[in-house]
Structure 1
């Protein structure tokens, strides 16, 4: 039995959150059915040739039966991780001395009736039990389990299968699909979608990532999109938790962009997005199957923006990081396990209401929340709850893709 060794964090300047990728990947897969049969037929060979070698998860030898044409039947779970490895990346991002930490770990859950989807972000510094994980180079000598380690060490400890096993143990959900992305993937896919408009509510200043943004709307792509997602010092209170909120600002806008007519009616843009995803993302073996990709995309494509929720896994502070808030997490996981629509307790830190957000006529508005000019105060407006929605505890934070929010920036004077 070997003694486990855990990779240490790199310097903060090299941290790498990739919250964008869950939605980028879903959009990329959708190209095969929204761009028309002819485009799909022409692109099929090129897309297949773009796929990187797959990673076999524990249980991947179990056959999966899906329709050749049509949406995935029932619910599904897909894990997306962002690696901080510099292997094969531009030297501008630093030398490859940081190990291979999953600084972003996100779980996409789609309900069995395909009426809602939830993306749960697990804070990188959250202490969790890590189960025994297989060693791909030595099947007879698996890595031993550990009772209390940060979740972002799982990728360096036992690879993508280990991260999947850890999240399965934490949530009780069965995860059949997984993917891993690095810096280049975010850059390529933000370019393919043509940029993402984000609202900055207070100035962002971050010398570590080199991003400086004034209040207002900015359309971000390429390296700028990557650095916006990486910034921690420049938003909220400078913690990884408020960085998750900043990423949710981007994710929500990304979903609105992808679902807009400008994207869905442009086969060339959709094809570019699909190829960028497949060329830059390492997929588990069952996710590499084109039939599976199409089925998953078709399960996602008709879900309303208001029922696509981005959630921060609830935690409490401990020395050196955070640990799960078990009571709140149980409420969230029970709703996911039973496919109940959810109503979140509030917005994640690091965000501000967008003063220019359109008001949904079906939204709930506090009658007393009107300013002196008769205008509705933005944060008094909430999305209409789905019928039978489970109202989650107030400390389960996040937002839907239908909510317009801004990044709560942080200047150098406050750091």
Structure 2
């Protein structure tokens, strides 16, 4: 007989009782998963349309990634960067080649990659650009989501993420996302970087106006400012290209990567840039005990090799067309707007029908898991291994929810 505490009601109750309430999860308790499907403690299956905020781009328990992890677990898991291990060079070289950059700095979480990018940009500003000590500033966008560290929430415009966590870190100028004139006006002689998401995920999968990213690239080049692209959610195949910047032919000075880089197995993040930027760091100036550990490198190297084939980028582009066509057919039938690229979509539900949270709860009841944001907006980001039939199933369940 199964202990009732292991079933959904008991597990949800204990989770709420013994953990800090910094999340408000749906009342589902997952026990196993494979591909695009999850199974809860009661044996019910759900189609995963969130994919760990893009951390599971290659699906749950991808055989190649699991094999790489198992093989490495039997050999070596951690040395720290005090030594070099046999997985490190392959990972850094192959990721650098995928990014078209000289150097890679491995870290663990996406927020760590962002913090690293901020530090590198500032140091570059002082040592290379000649900004006076302590005067460096970075231009960022309204609606951004780069993480939740103290420094990062200092330039967030989401009051839930920011309020009551001050005093805040100075050195950031916030401008409207998609407004090139405002961004250009905000840059001064002490600006060292522009930090942007090429598509704003947390804000509701907001795609900037056509020409905006090339314009930002041009302004950054003209003003001797680094363009730092946060591709932690948008990168590694999610939008139908390796990086979302590619849709408009933009190459940033620095990529910030994470989530899918760990294959849904271990947290892996990285900063990739050329030697004239990332080379400003010297021993002892930045680091991480677990950054670039053998287990992480073994898994992430396999991730890079999966991406090098182009298969997942093609799947995202082709299946993304099917997803967006299905979603667009629901505009005017409960949906107000649909945005996104590839297998990534933001859906604005008519707020007179239901909230985003209510829509997610009703989808859950129909065997589909998604995530709401900002009131009546839903985000869909299924694993790139999802099939055409599964996409149609998800759209059909959403249609049924909207129809009431």
TM over 0.5: no
> Between Structure 1 and Structure 2, which shows a larger proportion of strand residues?
1
TM-score under structure 1 length normalisation? 0.27
TM-score under structure 2 length normalisation? 0.28
